Amino acid sequence: MASAVRAIAPIDPLGMLKEAAVTAVVSAALLIPFVGFRIVNRGGDQFLDTRFEETAIAVALIFLGRLALILIRGGRFLVPAVGGVAVAAVGVFAPIPTDFLRAVATVGGLVVLARAAFVAFMRSRTDTGARAAGAGVGDMFRRALPWIAAAVIAIAFVLPLTPFAERRFLDVAILVLTYIMLGWGLNIVVGLAGLLDLGYVAFYAVGAYSYALLAAYFDFSFWICLPLAGMFAAFFGIVLGFPVLRLRGDYLAIVTLGFGEMIRVILLNWVSFTKGPDGISGIPRPSFFGLEFKRYPPEGGETFHTFFGLDYSSLHRVIFLYYLILVLALITNFFTRRIRTLPVGRAWEALREDEIACRSLGINPRNTKLSAFAIGAMFGGFAGAFFATRQGFISPESFTFLESAIILAVVVLGGMGSQTGVVLAAVVLIGLPEYIRDLQEYRMLAFGAGMVLIMAWRPRGLLSHRDPTIRLHPAGRGGG
């Protein structure tokens, strides 16, 4: 097997061209109606504009991309990689008339490059001393992981104090950390308990709205509302979880999706309570042990910068928010790691692997699943309260299905159940696109395509890790 994989297949130019040509013909048929024609509205009537040059160039690029992928499959990496870089560079730097072509060239080039690098890496692992070395690398990585994690956390703590920490960078970091926290929260439900939840955003929304409404109606501060938001979200988790526990797999996914949408529609239409589509604005910002982040201190009081004798800077609040979400996320992570070794955590993992076996061992599936739902929801609620206080404004628009899909993508693409994978996936999926400014509009298109490609090439996620936390027999030695 290994030698067959390693061998470089001889080039079969005719076959390659034929395969690529078929792809090109199909993609031409797919693209011409929607890229070649564009419906435009002129004076109340609809007309069609044509853009055939773009379509033709896009099809040509797809043809080349397909050729490159065939070469990579045959074990030739250099030419496709260089070609990919060249095309991507042209896409980024050359004056290309339209954004569409720019996106096709950049994304296509990068995809080819990533594929070449990935396949080459996998092959090199099988080449150097067969599988043992590969496993050795994996083992080394696993042993080094705590140190890497500690280093990353230390860097994360020091980062805002370094000159790197300009406003934009911190904003992106806060966003990424929010998704890391949400991903870790959802990981309890999806990764550990194996319950596919497509409506996680509902708990995020419950947390955000509980803080916003409690602050608006009762004038509660953030620090009182944070635990309350978590409790409300956990309560919703139990209420919504209870009826759906009997469902499995895809059905559970669809029903949770339905619940998520129901919460959004209710938030949208219950205008007297939630202000509906206008959203809630003026949500109070968090304070540092009662010290607010304002330029001018209130009558007879002090603010953060006067208390510490600093010059006022609007960055103080951003840095504080950064630390807040960092700590919240780390608490989520710590909690998850600990609970995995408790009986309830073990029961989650067991339930994920085989529900019937669990029943016969006397595990109560209902309570076990409900606890996973509630705890996952609670962390979603915390993150929601943080989101509300960070934004200062929330509306139902922030809690669409897309948000659930993004959080789930962070969990699944990282590798289900892997805490490290969530971090990696959040940085790749949330952080990177924020910096591709030119192609803002194409972000979601690339995001969706990225989900498809990562799944196609790495169905178990970037860092696949689904080992139970505990084994009777250490891997590789124990029986079947």
Partner 1 sequence: MEYFLQQLINGLTLGAIYGLIAIGYTMVYGIIGMINFAHGEIYMIGAFGALISILLLAVPGGGGSVVLALIVVLVVSMILTALYGWTLERIAYRPLRASPRLAALISAIGMSIALQNYIQLTQGARNKTLQPLIRGGVELMERDDGFTVVLNYMQMGIIATTIVLMTGFSLLISRTTLGRAQRACEQDRTMAALIGINVDRTISLAFVMGAALAAVAGFLVVLYYGVIDFFIGFLAGIKAFTAAVLGGIGSIPGAMLGGLLIGLIEAFWSGYFSIEYKDVAAFAILVLVLIFRPTGLLGQPEVEKV
We find the least distance from the C-beta atom of residue 467 to partner 1, in angstroms, to be 15
Q: Does 459 bind partner 1 (CB under 8 A)?
A: yes
We find the least distance from the C-beta atom of residue 255 to partner 1, in angstroms, to be 5
**By rule CB under 8 A, what string of x and - marks binding of each residue 365-404 to partner 1?**
------------------------------------xx--
d(CA 167, CA 322): 11
Classify residue 50 by burial, with Cβ atoms within 10 Å: 0-12, 13-18, 19+: exposed
Query: Residue 124 or residue 269: which is nearer to partner 1 going by CB?
Result: 269
Q: Is 200 helix (H, G, I), strand (E, B) or coil?
A: coil
Residue type, 228: L
Q: In the set 250, 353, 397, 438, which binds partner 1 (CB under 8 A)?
A: 250
Q: Does 413 bind partner 1 (CB under 8 A)?
A: yes
User: Cβ contacts of residue 383 below 8 Å, gap of 6+?
Assistant: 178, 181, 182, 185, 204, 207, 328
Q: Does 416 bind partner 1 (CB under 8 A)?
A: yes
- Of 203, 332, 325, nearest to 259 (Cα)? 203
Q: Does 408 bind partner 1 (CB under 8 A)?
A: yes
Residues constituting the chain: 480
Do residues 393 and 250 lie in contact, with contact meaning Cβ atoms separated by under 8 Å? no
We find the least distance from the C-beta atom of residue 291 to partner 1, in angstroms, to be 43
Helix axes 315-339, 365-391, angle to 10 degrees: 170
Contacting partner 1 within 186-225 (CB under 8 A): 196
We find the least distance from the C-beta atom of residue 251 to partner 1, in angstroms, to be 6
Phi, psi of 392 (to 5 degrees): 75, -5
Query: Residue 126 or residue 400: which is nearer to partner 1 going by CB?
Result: 400
Query: Residue 103 or residue 388: which is nearer to partner 1 going by CB?
Result: 103
Q: Does 53 bind partner 1 (CB under 8 A)?
A: no
Determine the size of the site formed for partner 1 (CB under 8 A): 57
Q: Does 249 bind partner 1 (CB under 8 A)?
A: yes
Query: Residue 39 or residue 132: which is nearer to partner 1 going by CB?
Result: 39
Classify residue 35 by burial, with Cβ atoms within 10 Å: 0-12, 13-18, 19+: buried
Q: Does 449 bind partner 1 (CB under 8 A)?
A: yes
Q: In the set 2, 155, 266, 310, which binds partner 1 (CB under 8 A)?
A: 266
Q: Does 445 bind partner 1 (CB under 8 A)?
A: yes
We find the least distance from the C-beta atom of residue 22 to partner 1, in angstroms, to be 11
Q: To which residue do tokens 């792809």 refer? A: 23
- CA triplet 96, 98, 101: central angle to 5 degrees? 80
Query: Residue 104 or residue 214: which is nearer to partner 1 going by CB?
Result: 104
Q: In the set 132, 456, 472, 475, which binds partner 1 (CB under 8 A)?
A: 456
- Per residue, the 3-state secondary structure of 128-184, as one string, reads CCHHHHHHHHHHHHHHHHHHHHHHHHHHHHHHHHCCCCCHHHHHHHHHHHHHHHHHH
Summary count for the chain: helices (H), strands (E): 20, 4
SS3 content of the chain, % helix, strand, coil (to 5): 75, 5, 20
Q: Is 194 helix (H, G, I), strand (E, B) or coil?
A: coil
We find the least distance from the C-beta atom of residue 28 to partner 1, in angstroms, to be 11
Q: Does 254 bind partner 1 (CB under 8 A)?
A: yes
Q: Does 353 bind partner 1 (CB under 8 A)?
A: no
Q: Does 105 bind partner 1 (CB under 8 A)?
A: no
Classify residue 75 by burial, with Cβ atoms within 10 Å: 0-12, 13-18, 19+: middle
Q: In the set 128, 269, 281, 469, which binds partner 1 (CB under 8 A)?
A: 269
Classify residue 343 by burial, with Cβ atoms within 10 Å: 0-12, 13-18, 19+: exposed
Distances from the Cα of 428 to the Cα of 93, 179, 263, 358, 432, angstroms: 22, 11, 29, 36, 5
**By rule CB under 8 A, what string of x and - marks binding of each residue 30-49 to partner 1?**
x--xxx-xxxxx----xxx-
Query: Residue 362 or residue 459: which is nearer to partner 1 going by CB?
Result: 459
Q: Does 136 bind partner 1 (CB under 8 A)?
A: no
The tokens for 369 are 């699943």
Q: Does 361 bind partner 1 (CB under 8 A)?
A: no
Q: Which helix (H) or strand (E) holds 359?
A: helix 355-360
Q: In the set 139, 278, 441, 467, which binds partner 1 (CB under 8 A)?
A: 441
Q: In the set 62, 188, 257, 394, which binds partner 1 (CB under 8 A)?
A: 257
Region of 111-119, 172-180, 259-267, 345-353 interacting with partner 1 (CB under 8 A): 259-267
Region of 154-162, 308-316, 330-338, 451-459 interacting with partner 1 (CB under 8 A): 451-459
Q: Which chain residues interact with partner 1 by CB under 8 A?
A: 26, 29-30, 33-35, 37-41, 46-48, 100, 196, 243-244, 246-247, 249-251, 253-255, 257-259, 261-262, 265-266, 269, 356, 401-402, 405, 408-409, 412-413, 416, 441-442, 444-445, 447-452, 455-456, 459-460
